[in-house]
Structure 1
């Protein structure tokens, strides 16, 4: 991606407003930086992938980055429960490849079934797993593992390491782990590849 894609001032203001109002739901004070967005889109290995899911798009900076890196015939389901963020996404992103779903990420099997997808090639998650209600983090991780195709990529960008331990029983250790310092605060990017045997 030659041109850095980021959030506008309006995006950032909306994100900050909801981060202050609903800190457990949003998880971060500021949206992703252009450098983090580019790193996520590159690391997710989107070329040739047709069915992509994003969990927790917020105001859509990462969504725009994923769409820019995706093939023209690929599709993206973005899962967001915040009505204000959903309205903002619909208003600011005009791309026929994008489908927005307001159900929680633990319902991922039903969400992809609505689009007649058998499974998912890539799942990108910005959901702050450390702030989720007890048990929901495991439910979402199970939904991710169930819907991701064998050999598929799961990428999570997080402030803390909680996601690594959460994913380990299903995915094992991350195949890649990196830190993007050109983001405030610095963000960790974890990547897993689901075993080809589906386990």
Structure 2
């Protein structure tokens, strides 16, 4: 008797396949793939929440470090008529997977031109577009402080005033690495954390923990000030003249 293939069975098979692909790529490219498993649906929903909150307005959205598309799947059906989604993924294998995902998406029969997959690092993304929402899945804890500073500066340059940046990190990973790595590596981790804390202090509007993820994740949401100036690559809010 032939087993009936149900949508739920298909989804389980897809998740298992993508989970294996993610694990393989994390071993091959541990510096740029920051986890051993794709993001959970709970984490993906939270990461994509700024786009849901903007509905039904037209939005320009940038997703960086999309991996196998856990967050992409949540973003795609929320792309309204006239909106734009640019997906940036430096890993060749993941980028090819994302192009197939976009090509087969049932929510985009007439909106294919609104979604683009860019197989580059975000530092190499050339565009004059400004974004209302940026969703970042990059593993900042794997990068040097200089790289993180460059990427965060680029994010805020690409954000429209009032736009939001959402990114996540894994809870507890820094402390584990501090005890298991060399002193220079521990210093690098600390410097990255301190750098990100400065951005949190200036621009954070929310922080949440997603326990139903492997490993548990901490999600940060930052907003570019409505009134801001850029000087020497550093974004600063203009003073409130009413104070």
TM-score (norm 2): 0.70
Output one character per residue of 1:99-119: Cα deviation in whole Å (capped at 9) or x when no partner.
1112211234x2x23xxx2x1
* Higher RCO (CA-CA < 8 Å; seq separation 6+): 1
The equivalent residue for 1:38 is 45
Output one character per residue of 1:74-127: Cα deviation in whole Å (capped at 9) or x when no partner.
11111111100111111222241321112211234x2x23xxx2x111110010
Q: Equivalent of 1:54, from 63, 69, 72? A: 63
Structure 1 window deviating more from structure 2 (64-73 vs 14-23): it is 64-73
- Larger Rg computed on CA atoms: 2
Q: 1:23 is paired with a residue of what secondary structure?
A: coil
Within 5 A, what are the aligned runs for 1:124-139?
Answer: 124-139=135-150
Output one character per residue of 1:19-69: Cα deviation in whole Å (capped at 9) or x when no partner.
122111101111001111112222453422421001100011111111123
The equivalent residue for 2:74 is 65
Q: What is the count of residue pairs matched by the alignment?
A: 189
Unaligned runs of 5+ in 2: 1-10, 175-191, 229-235, 237-243
- State how far apart, in whole Å, the 2-side matches of 1:91 and 1:135 are: 33
- State how far apart, in whole Å, the 1-side matches of 2:200 and 2:90 are: 25
CA shift for structure 1 position 171: 7.2
Residues 149 and 195, structure 2, Cα contact 8 Å, conserved in 1: no
Q: 2:31 is paired with a residue of what secondary structure?
A: helix
Residues 80 and 102, structure 1, Cα contact 8 Å, conserved in 2: yes
Q: Equivalent of 1:104, from 121, 131, 154? A: 121
- State how far apart, in whole Å, the 2-side matches of 1:120 and 1:188 are: 23
The equivalent residue for 1:185 is 215
Q: Does 1:74 align with 2:91?
A: no
Q: 2:167 is paired with a residue of what secondary structure?
A: strand
Q: Residues 55 and 175 from structure 1, CA distance in 2 versus in 1: closer, same or farther, beyond 3 angstroms? A: same
Q: Equivalent of 1:152, from 138, 163, 168? A: 163
- State how far apart, in whole Å, the 1-side matches of 2:198 and 2:124 are: 21
Cα RMSD for the two superposed structures: 2.3
Q: Does 1:123 align with 2:134?
A: yes
- State how far apart, in whole Å, the 1-side matches of 2:28 and 2:137 are: 18
